[in-house]
């Protein structure tokens, strides 16, 4: 069950779960605040907990707000686009054959019909990114499934605004954010390990962090790098 509270003009999503302790997460990419609490805890206790952490919450939200962010993409020549953390200059070329995206040197070419709309160009780019990340995932997943000792029955990719990945332990399915194709490769490694560990532990508690330390010792460094890299435009 989910609800919302407002503390110091900050909206916070409250999620009740079958856990013992309360914890707060500031979710990428826009700094959304989520408080996860035990099912039976009172509203007053939740508010007091949030108030006690308000300075930390404001600091973390400020970090997101100050983070570099791309301007709204128009998919025209001269824009910067990223693949695996590397910046490429976009060149739009016209063709009556088919839409295509490819890299030559330090340029990323978007081949489209001259009459194509911005939305159609965006779709072509998104599908190309989807292809890139789907090609990369199997090898990374195989590598870390051996290390973690857990593997999902299914994995999928989708564009997500507030999470880099999610895991459904019951269905043994993980989802990975399409935007990871734009980040440095170790970010995909970190998120995959993170979601695999959720096949052991549902919550982000001490046991979860212990598993992360064991299976991906520098996870906190990579997590910080991921959240510091340039964000995409968001409405």
Q: For residue 163, how many other CB atoms are within 10 A of its CB?
A: 17
* E strand or H helix at 176: strand 173-177
Residue-level pLDDT at 66: 62
Q: Where in the chain is the domain with CATH 3.30.2010.10?
A: 80-228
Q: Rounded distance, CA 226 to CA 136, Å?
A: 17
Peptide bond into 29 cis (omega under 30): yes
Which DSSP category does 183 fall into? Answer: S
Beta-carbon contacts of 5 under 8 Å, excluding residues fewer than 6 positions away, are: 11, 12, 14, 35, 43, 46, 47, 50
**pLDDT reading at 1 higher than 60:** no
Q: Tell me: the pLDDT tens digits for 77-96?
A: 999 999 999 999 999 999 88
Q: Tell me: the pLDDT tens digits for 195-220?
A: 999 999 988 888 999 999 999 999 99
Assigned architecture for domain 80-228: 2-Layer Sandwich (3.30)
Q: Tell me: the pLDDT tens digits for 147-187?
A: 999 999 999 999 887 788 999 999 999 999 999 999 999 99
Q: Rounded distance, CA 74 to CA 179, Å?
A: 17
State pTM to two decimals. Answer: 0.73
**pLDDT reading at 235 higher than 50:** no
Q: What are phi and psi of 140, to 5 degrees?
A: -65, -40
Residue-level pLDDT at 232: 59
Q: Report residue 234's pLDDT band, with 50, 70 and 90 as the boundaries.
A: very low
């Amino acid at each position: 069950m989910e609800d919302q509270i407002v503390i110091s003009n900050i909206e916070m999503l409250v999620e009740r779960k079958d856990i013992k302790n309360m914890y707060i997460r500031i979710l990428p990419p826009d700094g959304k605040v989520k408080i996860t609490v035990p099912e039976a805890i009172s509203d007053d206790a939740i508010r007091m907990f949030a108030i006690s952490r308000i300075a930390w919450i404001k600091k973390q939200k400020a970090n997101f707000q100050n983070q570099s962010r791309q301007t709204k993409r128009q998919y025209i020549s001269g824009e910067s686009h990223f693949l695996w953390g590397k910046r490429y200059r976009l060149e739009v070329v016209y063709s009556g054959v088919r839409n295509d995206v490819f890299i030559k040197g330090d340029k990323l070419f978007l081949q489209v019909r001259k009459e194509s709309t911005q939305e159609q160009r965006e779709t072509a780019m998104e599908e190309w990114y989807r292809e890139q990340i789907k090609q990369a995932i199997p090898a990374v997943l195989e590598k870390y499934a051996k290390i973690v000792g857990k593997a999902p029955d299914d994995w999928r990719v989708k564009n997500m605004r507030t999470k880099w990945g999610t895991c459904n332990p019951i269905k043994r399915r993980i989802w990975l954010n399409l935007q990871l194709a734009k980040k440095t490769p170790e970010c995909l490694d970190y998120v995959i390990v993170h979601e695999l560990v959720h096949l052991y532990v549902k919550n982000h508690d001490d046991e979860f962090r212990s598993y992360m330390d064991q299976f991906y010792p520098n996870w906190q460094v990579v997590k910080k790098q991921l959240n510091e890299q340039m964000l995409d435009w968001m409405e």
